[in-house]
Structure 1
Amino acid sequence: MSAELVELVGQVGPYVGAAVTAYGAGVLTRAQDAAVDATANLGQRIVQTVWHRGRRSDRAALEIAVEEAAAEGAGEGAGEDLRRQIERALREDARLRSEIAAMLPGAPQIVITATGERGVAAQHIGMVINGDNPTVHP
Protein backbone atom coordinates (compact mmCIF):
# COMPACT_ATOMS: atom_id res chain seq x y z
CA MET A 1 0.00 0.00 0.00
CA SER A 2 1.34 3.44 -0.88
CA ALA A 3 2.37 5.93 1.77
CA GLU A 4 -0.12 8.41 0.30
CA LEU A 5 -3.00 5.98 0.81
CA VAL A 6 -1.89 5.15 4.36
CA GLU A 7 -1.79 8.87 5.16
CA LEU A 8 -5.24 9.49 3.63
CA VAL A 9 -6.84 6.61 5.54
CA GLY A 10 -5.20 7.92 8.72
CA GLN A 11 -6.63 11.38 8.12
CA VAL A 12 -10.11 10.04 7.37
CA GLY A 13 -10.22 7.76 10.43
CA PRO A 14 -11.07 10.29 13.16
CA TYR A 15 -13.90 11.79 11.10
CA VAL A 16 -15.41 8.42 10.27
CA GLY A 17 -15.07 7.33 13.91
CA ALA A 18 -16.82 10.48 15.12
CA ALA A 19 -19.63 9.95 12.62
CA VAL A 20 -20.17 6.31 13.59
CA THR A 21 -20.09 7.24 17.28
CA ALA A 22 -22.63 10.04 16.71
CA TYR A 23 -24.96 8.28 14.28
CA GLY A 24 -24.32 4.56 14.61
CA ALA A 25 -25.40 2.52 11.60
CA GLY A 26 -27.60 5.46 10.54
CA VAL A 27 -24.46 7.18 9.25
CA LEU A 28 -25.15 5.65 5.84
CA THR A 29 -28.67 6.96 5.38
CA ARG A 30 -29.43 9.96 7.55
CA ALA A 31 -29.24 13.54 6.38
CA GLN A 32 -26.60 15.79 7.88
CA ASP A 33 -27.58 17.45 11.13
CA ALA A 34 -26.41 21.04 11.42
CA ALA A 35 -26.43 20.79 15.20
CA VAL A 36 -23.95 17.92 15.28
CA ASP A 37 -20.23 18.51 15.48
CA ALA A 38 -18.56 19.35 12.16
CA THR A 39 -16.20 16.41 12.61
CA ALA A 40 -19.07 13.93 12.68
CA ASN A 41 -20.72 15.62 9.70
CA LEU A 42 -17.52 15.35 7.66
CA GLY A 43 -17.13 11.72 8.70
CA GLN A 44 -20.69 11.06 7.62
CA ARG A 45 -20.06 12.66 4.22
CA ILE A 46 -16.94 10.50 3.80
CA VAL A 47 -18.73 7.25 4.70
CA GLN A 48 -21.73 8.09 2.52
CA THR A 49 -19.51 9.01 -0.43
CA VAL A 50 -17.62 5.71 -0.18
CA TRP A 51 -20.91 3.84 0.21
CA HIS A 52 -22.65 5.51 -2.74
CA ARG A 53 -19.69 4.95 -5.05
CA GLY A 54 -19.18 1.29 -4.15
CA ARG A 55 -20.37 -1.83 -5.91
CA ARG A 56 -23.35 -3.64 -4.39
CA SER A 57 -21.11 -6.25 -2.70
CA ASP A 58 -18.82 -3.52 -1.35
CA ARG A 59 -21.83 -1.63 0.00
CA ALA A 60 -23.00 -4.68 1.94
CA ALA A 61 -19.56 -5.16 3.48
CA LEU A 62 -19.37 -1.45 4.36
CA GLU A 63 -22.81 -1.58 5.99
CA ILE A 64 -21.74 -4.53 8.14
CA ALA A 65 -18.50 -2.77 9.09
CA VAL A 66 -20.43 0.38 10.10
CA GLU A 67 -22.87 -1.64 12.22
CA GLU A 68 -19.98 -3.46 13.92
CA ALA A 69 -18.09 -0.21 14.55
CA ALA A 70 -21.23 1.35 16.05
CA ALA A 71 -21.69 -1.67 18.33
CA GLU A 72 -18.03 -1.60 19.41
CA GLY A 73 -18.24 2.03 20.51
CA ALA A 74 -15.21 4.27 20.78
CA GLY A 75 -12.87 1.72 22.37
CA GLU A 76 -9.35 0.74 21.33
CA GLY A 77 -9.36 -0.90 17.92
CA ALA A 78 -13.02 -0.10 17.28
CA GLY A 79 -13.89 0.26 13.65
CA GLU A 80 -10.83 -1.57 12.30
CA ASP A 81 -12.89 -3.41 9.69
CA LEU A 82 -14.55 -0.14 8.69
CA ARG A 83 -11.12 1.43 8.13
CA ARG A 84 -10.12 -1.56 6.01
CA GLN A 85 -13.29 -1.25 3.91
CA ILE A 86 -12.63 2.45 3.32
CA GLU A 87 -8.98 1.79 2.59
CA ARG A 88 -9.88 -0.83 -0.01
CA ALA A 89 -12.38 1.51 -1.69
CA LEU A 90 -9.79 4.30 -1.81
CA ARG A 91 -7.10 1.97 -3.14
CA GLU A 92 -9.36 0.73 -5.96
CA ASP A 93 -10.73 4.12 -7.06
CA ALA A 94 -8.32 7.00 -7.70
CA ARG A 95 -11.18 9.39 -8.41
CA LEU A 96 -12.82 8.56 -5.08
CA ARG A 97 -9.45 8.99 -3.37
CA SER A 98 -9.14 12.51 -4.82
CA GLU A 99 -12.72 13.36 -3.89
CA ILE A 100 -12.25 12.26 -0.27
CA ALA A 101 -8.88 14.03 0.00
CA ALA A 102 -10.53 17.25 -1.19
CA MET A 103 -13.12 16.99 1.61
CA LEU A 104 -10.49 17.08 4.33
CA PRO A 105 -9.65 20.36 6.07
CA GLY A 106 -6.60 22.00 4.60
CA ALA A 107 -7.10 20.34 1.23
CA PRO A 108 -5.84 22.59 -1.52
CA GLN A 109 -8.62 24.35 -3.37
CA ILE A 110 -8.13 24.62 -7.11
CA VAL A 111 -9.02 27.96 -8.60
CA ILE A 112 -8.84 28.42 -12.34
CA THR A 113 -9.41 31.83 -13.87
CA ALA A 114 -9.54 32.86 -17.51
CA THR A 115 -9.42 36.53 -18.40
CA GLY A 116 -9.43 38.48 -21.59
CA GLU A 117 -10.89 37.89 -24.98
CA ARG A 118 -10.91 34.19 -25.88
CA GLY A 119 -9.55 33.26 -22.46
CA VAL A 120 -9.60 29.54 -21.71
CA ALA A 121 -9.67 27.98 -18.26
CA ALA A 122 -9.56 24.25 -17.58
CA GLN A 123 -8.41 21.86 -14.93
CA HIS A 124 -8.13 18.71 -17.04
CA ILE A 125 -7.80 19.13 -20.75
CA GLY A 126 -6.55 17.37 -23.82
CA MET A 127 -6.32 20.15 -26.39
CA VAL A 128 -7.47 23.74 -26.72
CA ILE A 129 -7.52 25.50 -30.06
CA ASN A 130 -8.06 29.20 -29.84
CA GLY A 131 -7.73 31.95 -32.43
CA ASP A 132 -8.74 32.84 -35.94
CA ASN A 133 -8.31 30.22 -38.67
CA PRO A 134 -6.08 27.81 -36.73
CA THR A 135 -4.32 24.96 -38.49
CA VAL A 136 -3.82 21.72 -36.59
CA HIS A 137 -1.26 19.15 -37.70
CA PRO A 138 -1.30 15.71 -36.08
Structure 2
Amino acid sequence: MSAEIVQLVKQAGPYLTTAVSAYGAAVFSRAENAAVDATANLGQLILQAVRRRRDEQGRAELETAVQDAAEAPEDADAAAAVRQQIKRALREDAELLAELARMLPAVGETVTVTASGERSIAARTITTAVTGDHTAIRL
Protein backbone atom coordinates (compact mmCIF):
# COMPACT_ATOMS: atom_id res chain seq x y z
CA MET A 1 0.00 0.00 0.00
CA SER A 2 1.35 3.38 -0.88
CA ALA A 3 2.52 5.77 1.80
CA GLU A 4 0.30 8.42 0.20
CA ILE A 5 -2.84 6.36 0.90
CA VAL A 6 -1.79 5.65 4.47
CA GLN A 7 -1.11 9.36 5.09
CA LEU A 8 -4.37 10.47 3.50
CA VAL A 9 -6.46 8.02 5.52
CA LYS A 10 -4.64 8.99 8.70
CA GLN A 11 -5.34 12.64 7.95
CA ALA A 12 -8.99 11.92 7.13
CA GLY A 13 -9.54 9.84 10.29
CA PRO A 14 -10.75 12.63 12.59
CA TYR A 15 -13.12 13.93 9.91
CA LEU A 16 -14.56 10.45 9.34
CA THR A 17 -14.99 9.79 13.05
CA THR A 18 -16.73 13.11 13.60
CA ALA A 19 -19.05 12.59 10.63
CA VAL A 20 -20.05 9.12 11.79
CA SER A 21 -20.58 10.41 15.34
CA ALA A 22 -22.67 13.36 14.13
CA TYR A 23 -24.73 11.60 11.48
CA GLY A 24 -24.47 7.87 12.14
CA ALA A 25 -25.47 5.68 9.24
CA ALA A 26 -27.45 8.61 7.78
CA VAL A 27 -24.10 10.13 6.75
CA PHE A 28 -24.74 8.99 3.17
CA SER A 29 -28.20 10.49 2.83
CA ARG A 30 -28.07 13.75 4.77
CA ALA A 31 -27.41 17.08 3.18
CA GLU A 32 -24.56 19.16 4.55
CA ASN A 33 -25.73 20.92 7.67
CA ALA A 34 -24.47 24.39 8.49
CA ALA A 35 -25.26 23.76 12.15
CA VAL A 36 -22.83 20.84 12.30
CA ASP A 37 -19.18 21.79 12.41
CA ALA A 38 -16.93 21.78 9.37
CA THR A 39 -15.10 18.66 10.56
CA ALA A 40 -18.26 16.54 10.40
CA ASN A 41 -19.25 18.03 7.07
CA LEU A 42 -15.84 17.25 5.53
CA GLY A 43 -15.98 13.71 6.88
CA GLN A 44 -19.43 13.33 5.36
CA LEU A 45 -18.19 14.59 1.99
CA ILE A 46 -15.29 12.11 2.10
CA LEU A 47 -17.57 9.18 2.90
CA GLN A 48 -20.07 10.17 0.24
CA ALA A 49 -17.30 10.51 -2.37
CA VAL A 50 -15.96 7.05 -1.53
CA ARG A 51 -19.44 5.52 -1.56
CA ARG A 52 -20.27 7.13 -4.90
CA ARG A 53 -17.16 5.60 -6.53
CA ARG A 54 -17.66 2.04 -5.21
CA ASP A 55 -19.53 -0.81 -6.85
CA GLU A 56 -22.60 -2.32 -5.18
CA GLN A 57 -20.57 -4.69 -3.00
CA GLY A 58 -18.12 -1.94 -2.02
CA ARG A 59 -20.99 0.38 -1.07
CA ALA A 60 -22.57 -2.32 1.08
CA GLU A 61 -19.26 -3.02 2.85
CA LEU A 62 -18.68 0.69 3.52
CA GLU A 63 -22.24 1.18 4.77
CA THR A 64 -21.89 -1.81 7.12
CA ALA A 65 -18.61 -0.48 8.51
CA VAL A 66 -20.14 2.98 9.05
CA GLN A 67 -23.22 1.46 10.72
CA ASP A 68 -21.00 -0.57 13.08
CA ALA A 69 -18.92 2.50 13.93
CA ALA A 70 -22.05 4.58 14.55
CA GLU A 71 -23.47 1.95 16.89
CA ALA A 72 -20.21 1.64 18.86
CA PRO A 73 -18.55 5.09 18.82
CA GLU A 74 -15.98 4.08 21.46
CA ASP A 75 -14.92 0.94 19.57
CA ALA A 76 -11.54 1.60 17.95
CA ASP A 77 -11.88 -1.55 15.83
CA ALA A 78 -15.14 -0.28 14.32
CA ALA A 79 -13.49 3.05 13.42
CA ALA A 80 -10.53 1.16 11.96
CA ALA A 81 -12.91 -0.87 9.77
CA VAL A 82 -14.21 2.37 8.23
CA ARG A 83 -10.64 3.52 7.55
CA GLN A 84 -9.84 0.13 6.03
CA GLN A 85 -12.76 0.52 3.62
CA ILE A 86 -11.42 3.95 2.62
CA LYS A 87 -7.94 2.49 2.04
CA ARG A 88 -9.35 -0.30 -0.12
CA ALA A 89 -11.26 2.22 -2.23
CA LEU A 90 -8.19 4.43 -2.62
CA ARG A 91 -5.96 1.53 -3.69
CA GLU A 92 -8.46 0.68 -6.42
CA ASP A 93 -9.21 4.20 -7.66
CA ALA A 94 -6.42 6.72 -8.32
CA GLU A 95 -8.95 9.41 -9.29
CA LEU A 96 -10.66 9.04 -5.92
CA LEU A 97 -7.27 9.41 -4.22
CA ALA A 98 -6.70 12.69 -6.05
CA GLU A 99 -10.24 13.89 -5.24
CA LEU A 100 -9.84 13.24 -1.51
CA ALA A 101 -6.38 14.78 -1.47
CA ARG A 102 -7.90 17.99 -2.84
CA MET A 103 -10.57 17.95 -0.12
CA LEU A 104 -8.17 17.64 2.79
CA PRO A 105 -5.89 20.40 3.98
CA ALA A 106 -2.23 19.75 3.18
CA VAL A 107 -0.25 18.16 5.98
CA GLY A 108 0.89 20.93 8.28
CA GLU A 109 -1.38 23.45 6.59
CA THR A 110 -3.38 25.59 8.94
CA VAL A 111 -6.74 26.73 7.70
CA THR A 112 -8.31 29.69 9.42
CA VAL A 113 -11.79 30.77 8.45
CA THR A 114 -13.42 33.77 10.09
CA ALA A 115 -16.85 35.26 9.67
CA SER A 116 -17.72 38.57 11.22
CA GLY A 117 -20.85 40.62 11.07
CA GLU A 118 -24.50 40.07 10.52
CA ARG A 119 -25.30 37.12 8.25
CA SER A 120 -21.63 36.45 7.58
CA ILE A 121 -20.60 33.11 6.17
CA ALA A 122 -17.16 31.60 6.34
CA ALA A 123 -15.98 28.18 5.25
CA ARG A 124 -13.10 26.62 3.43
CA THR A 125 -15.57 25.23 0.92
CA ILE A 126 -19.16 26.32 0.52
CA THR A 127 -21.67 24.22 -1.37
CA THR A 128 -24.75 26.37 -0.78
CA ALA A 129 -25.28 29.44 1.35
CA VAL A 130 -28.33 31.61 1.86
CA THR A 131 -28.38 34.57 4.21
CA GLY A 132 -31.17 36.79 2.90
CA ASP A 133 -34.73 37.12 4.05
CA HIS A 134 -37.52 35.43 2.13
CA THR A 135 -35.15 33.38 0.01
CA ALA A 136 -36.32 30.19 -1.63
CA ILE A 137 -34.06 27.49 -2.93
CA ARG A 138 -35.51 25.41 -5.71
CA LEU A 139 -33.88 22.10 -6.55
TM-score after normalising by structure 1: 0.74
Q: 1:72 maps to which residue?
A: 72
Deviation at 1:75, TM superposition (A): 4.2
CA distance in 2, matches of 1:35, 1:62: 26
CA distance in 2, matches of 1:89, 1:29: 20
TM-score after normalising by structure 2: 0.73
Q: 1:60 maps to which residue?
A: 60
- The residue type paired with residue 29 of structure 1 is S
CA distance in 1, matches of 2:33, 2:21: 14
Q: Which has the larger radius of gyration?
A: 1
Q: 2:16 maps to which residue?
A: 16
CA distance in 2, matches of 1:20, 1:95: 24
Deviation at 1:74, TM superposition (A): 3.6
1:28-85 Cα shifts (integer Å, max 9, x gaps): 1110101101000000000000001110110000110010010111444441111111
1:100 maps to 2:100: yes
The alignment-based identity, stated in percent, is 56
Q: Secondary structure at the match of 2:33?
A: coil
5+ long unaligned stretches in structure 2: 110-139
4+ runs deviating over 2 angstroms: 74-78
5+ long unaligned stretches in structure 1: 109-138
Q: 2:88 maps to which residue?
A: 88
